[in-house]
A and B are shown apart, each in its own frame.
Chain A
Amino acid sequence: AQSVTQLGSHVSVSEGALVLLRCNYSSSVPPYLFWYVQYPNQGLQLLLKYTSAATLVKGINGFEAEFKKSETSFHLTKPSAHMSDAAEYFCAVIDSGNTGKLIFGQGTTLQVKP
């Protein structure tokens, strides 16, 4: 069965610092991986997705993620944090089989300090 683990439920960075949010996956098949962001009382917004093309995936708002099969990781990074990046971030993998079902990590809350 597919699963996703996000390391760190809370991450705090200073404005302008590097953002690194960690995600490890477990998958029996080549995975489809996603990062979503959620602002308070909002739905989930798709930041980026990996679908077995390039291993370095660029998303919206300056975020990117690198798929590393050897480490079963899909960490999210952004070179310089902005106050508006403060939100909750979710890593997700599509379940195996013919489905659109997503399996989510527990989420990481990003705090950005001025």
Chain B
Amino acid sequence: KAGVTQTPRYLIKTRGQQVTLSCSPISGHRSVSWYQQTPGQGLQFLFEYFSETQRNKGNFPGRFSGRQFSNSRSEMNVSTLELGDSALYLCASSGEDRGAFFGQGTRLTVV
């Protein structure tokens, strides 16, 4: 089985711009979660989608949004980028056995 695929791997954006990250889960997995990882805050949960519906949401501002498509692929969008949004963004997919498998992440740098 193919693993979780995140694109792109690296991004450099300017403050005020917006960005869209993509995640393709493991085939058959219907749950996709997004996490932000920074040296200071560690791994923080952004949101979870299950069967195209947002099932959970973390404590992030409304600039962070996401969606899931009928094929379970997910995107997250960050609008009006700030320097503090620089981070590694990780996507995880889960199946019925509750084990979460992560992609390689997208390294976002905001300048």
Contacts and interface: CB of A to CB of B under 8 A. Distances in A.
B102 A104 contact: no
A102 B55 contact: no
Contact of B107 (A41, A49, A101, A107): A41
Contact of B98 (A36, A42, A43, A94): A94
Interface in B69-111: 88, 90, 92, 94, 97-105, 107
B55 A42 contact: no
Contacts of B35: 102
Contacts of A51: 97-98
Contacts of B27: none
Interface in A80-107: 90, 94-95, 98-104, 106-107
Interface string B20-48: 00000000000101010000001101001
Given A51-B98, A94-B98, A99 B103 contact: no
Interface residues of B, number: 26
A98 B102 CA distance: 20
Contacts of B88: 41
A110 to B, nearest CB: 16
* Size class of the A contact interface (CB-based, 8 Å): 20 to 34
B18 interface: no
Interface string A25-67: 0000000101010000111111001010000000000000000
A54 to B, nearest CB: 15
What 6 A-B pairs come out closest when comparing CB atoms? A100-B94, A43-B102, A100-B31, A44-B102, A104-B43, A43-B104
Interface of A: 32, 34, 36, 41-46, 49, 51, 90, 94-95, 98-104, 106-107
